[in-house]
Amino acid sequence: MYLINWAAKCQSKTLNTQFHDGAKYFDFRVRFKDGKPVIAHGLIEYKGNIDHMVANLNYFAEYFGETIYLRFVLEYNKIPEDFASQMASLVDLVRYYRGKYPNITYTYIMSKWNEQKVATYYSKDTPTLIHKYSSVLKEKRFLWIPYWYAKLHNKTFLHKYTKEVSSDSDVLMLDFI
């Protein structure tokens, strides 16, 4: 799938760089194979270690005294036949991480296309997510390289939605920050 990675990749910076550049809200896309979580986006599956990434975010939160939010999304292109067990695995995964890495605020987990909330873990101080997809949308999907599309359109999204985003209470989620 390496040849189509350009269509699935949404970030080019490491978690460390994103954090130090100001990101405090992270979105992890996973699917489950043989009961184990796999990092995925669209058709692409990545080799990254989810536990290692969550541990790093937990360390950042603890060491720097920052509130870090982590959202898990069940990634799929069409609803899988074992959807109920995939969702149950996702709920179990977040429960596990909440116990193992308590310095992160797990805002919520949901299924992909209908943004159905499956479980909510937040306090009254959790920011509202303003989710504006900035990479390739609908019919434009095959016309642009997502990185350049996002780079060109993030400025428009930032300008248009800045009024909706309060620095303390809302999060604007964009690709390729």
What is the Cα 21 distance to its own chain's centre?
17
pTM, whole model, 2 decimals? Answer: 0.77
104-115 tens-digit pLDDT = 988 777 776 566
Question: For position 134, what pLDDT does the model report?
Answer: 47
Residue 101 clears pLDDT 80, i.e. is over it: yes
Q: What is the CATH number of domain 2-126?
A: 3.20.20.190
Question: For position 100, what pLDDT does the model report?
Answer: 96
Distance (Å) of CA 86 to CA 51, 82, 168:
18, 6, 33
Question: For position 97, what pLDDT does the model report?
Answer: 95
138-150 tens-digit pLDDT = 555 555 566 666 6
Question: What value does the mean pLDDT of the chain take?
Answer: 77
**Which residue type occupies 99?**
G
Residue 136 clears pLDDT 60, i.e. is over it: no
48-96 tens-digit pLDDT = 899 999 999 999 999 999 989 898 988 887 788 888 898 899 999 999 9
Residue 47 clears pLDDT 80, i.e. is over it: yes
Domain regions of the chain by residue span: 2-126, 127-177
